[in-house]
Amino acid sequence: MPQNRANMLIALGSNMSSDVGSPKEVLLKAVREIAQAGALIRAKSALFSTPAFPAGSGPDFVNAAISIDASWAPAEAIAVLHGIEAKLGRRRDVRWGQRIIDLDLLSHGALIRPDVATLRHWMSLPLDEQREKAPGQLILPHPRMHERAFVLVPLAEVAPDWVHPITRRTVLQMRDALPQDDLDAITALQ
């Protein structure tokens, strides 16, 4: 791998059909778009059916995760992902609402952005405050990834040994620490 490339982990989700097709087809198209934008897809998880988060906020999602190598700086990676979301029809009207596509940059190499204190703040924000507040800047790694089965189950297929810089746990350890009911609600799609 050239030195100017970084490994990134990306979570993908969709619970709305679009001109592209079903949520499953939207996710597959998003992966192709990420590759066409210059990323090398290192690994891709299966597609999973997952309950909408928060509960009752819409139809079930199709979720997946990918590991990529790309020469994008963090801000550039977000711009690429947001551009793909827009191209596929994503509108950012309602926080945690139904969406055609959601592409979340989970990690960018071993970077912590903007700093440990800010990351810890967003990691510990209570759920009711999460509904009302969103960070005005890029936070890496994703501040809620460690508690979301719809992220960790697919991610365990592509980066099981990735270690979170704050929790110091691997993806497998974080996944296995989740409530069994959360894990049981996720099913692999054929």
User: Counting every residue, how long is the chain?
Assistant: 190
What are the structural domains, with CATH classification, of the chain?
6-188 (3.30.70.560)
pLDDT of res. 93: 63
Supply angle C-alpha 28, 31, 32, rounded to 5. 90
Question: pTM for the complete prediction?
Answer: 0.92
> What residues in the chain have per-residue pLDDT under 70?
1-3, 92-97, 130-131
Which residue in this structure is represented by tokens 């700093």? 115
pLDDT of res. 2: 42
For residue 3, with 0-12 CB atoms within 10 Å meaning exposed, 13-18 middle and 19 or more buried, which class applies?
exposed
* Pairing of β 40-44 and β 187-188: unpaired
Which of 60, 13, 15 is closest to 187 using CA atoms? 60
pLDDT of res. 26: 96
Report the percent of the chain where pLDDT is more than 90: 77
pLDDT of res. 1: 40
pLDDT of res. 94: 58
